[in-house]
């Protein structure tokens, strides 16, 4: 992202962590949100999911809404990386999660259980 597309507005993100193909919410999953562009690289949130598998809604820098109204304009969204960790589940990394100005985005994160006795090396 270049200087012509400052992240001058705010969008919102909630992460919904589940298992069983989205049927069962996961409580107490650790969720990290990071900016992955030069304009938002200092953004960092560490969150935990509630009993519904949801993080709190967070405010994130986003480009102006007007970017979506002009042909050939800069992209109308900022991108973020989301990492999800939960005991007994394979860690999940989501990249390029879009956040638009004034929009509440709900990002699904479906976790896969570890096989019994399986250890992951980080």
pLDDT tens-digit series, residues 63-100: 998 888 777 778 899 999 999 999 999 999 999 999 99
Quick check: is 119 in a domain?
A: no
Domain annotation covers residue 116:
no
CATH number at residue 27: 2.60.40.10
**Average pLDDT estimate for 113-118:** 80
pLDDT in tens, 18-36: 999 889 999 999 999 999 8
Residue 120, pLDDT above cutoff 80: no
**Predicted pLDDT at 83:** 96
Q: How many domains does the chain have?
A: 1
Residue 2, pLDDT > 60, answer no
pLDDT at 87: 95
Give, rounded to a whole angstrom, the gap between the first and last alpha carbons of the chain: 30
95 within some domain: yes
Model pLDDT, residue 43: 82
Within a domain: 121: no
Range of the domain at 84: 3-110
Is pLDDT larger for residue 115 or for residue 105? 105
Does residue 33 belong to any structural domain of this protein? Answer: yes
Nearest to 82 by CA among 42, 45, 28, 113: 45
Q: Note the pLDDT tens digit of each residue in 25-65.
A: 999 999 999 998 777 778 899 999 999 999 999 999 999 98
Assess if residue 63 is contained within a domain: yes
Residue 117 counted as domain residue: no
């Amino acid at each position: 992202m270049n200087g012509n597309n400052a992240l001058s507005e705010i969008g919102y993100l909630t992460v919904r962590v589940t298992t069983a193909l989205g049927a069962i919410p996961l409580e107490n999953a650790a969720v990290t949100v990071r900016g992955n562009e030069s304009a938002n690289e200092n953004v960092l949130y560490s969150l935990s999911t509630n009993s519904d598998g949801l993080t709190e809604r967070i405010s994130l820098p986003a480009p102006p809404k007007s970017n979506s109204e002009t042909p050939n304009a800069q992209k109308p969204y900022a991108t973020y990386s989301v990492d999800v960790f939960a005991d007994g589940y394979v860690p999940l990394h989501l990249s390029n999660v879009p956040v638009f100005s004034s929009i509440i985005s709900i990002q699904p994160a479906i976790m896969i259980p570890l096989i019994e006795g399986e250890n992951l090396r980080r």
